[in-house]
Amino acid sequence: MNNFKFRNPTKILFGKDQIENLATEIPANSKVLMLYGGGSIKKNGIYDNVKKALSAFDVVEFGGIPANPEYSVLLDALKVIKDKKIDFLLAVGGGSVIDGTKFLAAAAEYEGETPWNLMTDRKPVTSAMPFATVLTLPATGSEMNSGSVITREETKEKLAVGGPGLFPLFSILDPTVVASIPQRQLANGIADSFTHVLEQYMTYPSGASLQDRFAESVLKTLIEVAPEIMKNPSDYKAASNFMWCCTMALNGLLQQGVPTDWAVHAMGHELTALYGIDHARTLAILASNHYRYNFETKKEKLAQYAERVWNVTAGSTEEKAKIGIAKTDEFFKSLGIDIKLSDYTEDYSETGNIVSKRFTERGWLGLGEHKNLTPNDAKKIVEMSY
């Protein structure tokens, strides 16, 4: 087990009717900017519930934050924060709205040349405006972590920022929201959180027995609830476990004391930036090919995963590991997710080269748990995914 430092101060309010607690959780007399996305919250009742709970506050609204939160839109919101002298941000949405809100919380206090320098500085954010979230789409875990990924259409970039200043003050997780989520986004949420766990698990044995079991717990629970959620998103038991899995998958706990490998995410972000493919689907396209390409270094953990998560009892380490990879592909397909790049675009023949070139230009220091994968390795993995 590796040394680690871990702190997660976000308060979670989980369950039915928790939105009512907004009034007491937000600091009194705050001037609140309520941020949301394309307006689905106006159809499912969440908008009304939030507005009602905030009736004692001075509230300004900023809607229209798109999936893969776009820098130029966020600049408009930043202007509102400054013009209206906002002192508390409330994200009401999924990972995109929350990530956008985190960027704004940091940008409001940032003193660099332009707000985009926040993304290119690669420095941890230690101080930001206070903010909180009402989660409407379980997937990214952003509601209980300090990371944010922002897209800039102008330059086709998708970059991450984070730091101890970017934890939400609190997050409200009401599983009843799951009932109104479209099938495609349910599938994305399951695939996204499943892959989040894999990125913190599918490396090499490191003696972190409890951490391994926690990771396997999330994977097994996602596998258990996935068909229930896809069939009946109003099933509260399934919805609540799904929602809590998504949060626990990426709130920092699973990665403590273990090696991690975020290569699938790094490559996936490029596919989203290039083709607009849903984030979760880029992970489903790449994950198993990443494991096939790095089979020798990952086979022990792949076999453990096959045994403990998929109940594979027979075969050698290699055989079990291969079954584990196949099960992963099957799982994504069971969610209705296509797992080949060519299922999403006809314009893929140069994707491997483009991704490799982008990593090279950005001075990528090495992907994978051993930090030894080169841009050329990424090219090959992407090409295996055509």
| Residues found near a copy of itself in the complex (CB under 8 A) | 1-18, 170, 175, 207-211, 213-214, 216-218, 220-221, 224-225, 236-237, 240-241, 244-245, 248, 256-257
- Amino acid at position 244, single letter: W
Structure tokens, 70: 């776009």
Q: Smaller CB distance to a copy of itself: residue 220 or 292? A: 220
Q: Shortest gap between Cβ of 265 and a copy of itself (angstroms)? A: 22
Q: Smaller CB distance to a copy of itself: residue 217 or 297? A: 217
Q: Smaller CB distance to a copy of itself: residue 91 or 238? A: 238
How many other β-carbons are positioned within 10 Å of the β-carbon of residue 112? 12
Q: Taking CA 72 as the corner, what is the angle to CA 83 and CA 363, rounded to the nearest 5 degrees?
A: 125
118 Cβ contact partners less than 8 Å away, ≥ 6 residues apart: 103, 106, 107, 110, 112, 125, 161
Phi and psi for 88 in degrees, rounded to 5? -150, 135
Distance of alpha carbon 235 from alpha carbon 359, whole angstroms = 43
Q: Shortest gap between Cβ of 304 and a copy of itself (angstroms)? A: 14
In 3D space, the residue among 179, 184, 201, 102 whose CA is nearest the CA of residue 144 turns out to be: 102
Q: Smaller CB distance to a copy of itself: residue 136 or 351? A: 136
92 close to 36: Cβ distance less than 8 angstroms? yes
Q: Shortest gap between Cβ of 13 and a copy of itself (angstroms)? A: 5
In 3D space, the residue among 40, 315, 361 whose CA is nearest the CA of residue 302 turns out to be: 315
Q: Shortest gap between Cβ of 49 and a copy of itself (angstroms)? A: 16
Q: Smaller CB distance to a copy of itself: residue 153 or 228? A: 228
356 close to 300: Cβ distance less than 8 angstroms? no
Q: Smaller CB distance to a copy of itself: residue 66 or 163? A: 163
- The single residue listed with the structure tokens 């592909």 is 329
Q: Shortest gap between Cβ of 220 and a copy of itself (angstroms)? A: 6
Q: Shortest gap between Cβ of 139 and a copy of itself (angstroms)? A: 16
Q: Smaller CB distance to a copy of itself: residue 369 or 377? A: 369
Q: Shortest gap between Cβ of 241 and a copy of itself (angstroms)? A: 5
Output the CA torsion sign for 194, 197, 199, 205. negative
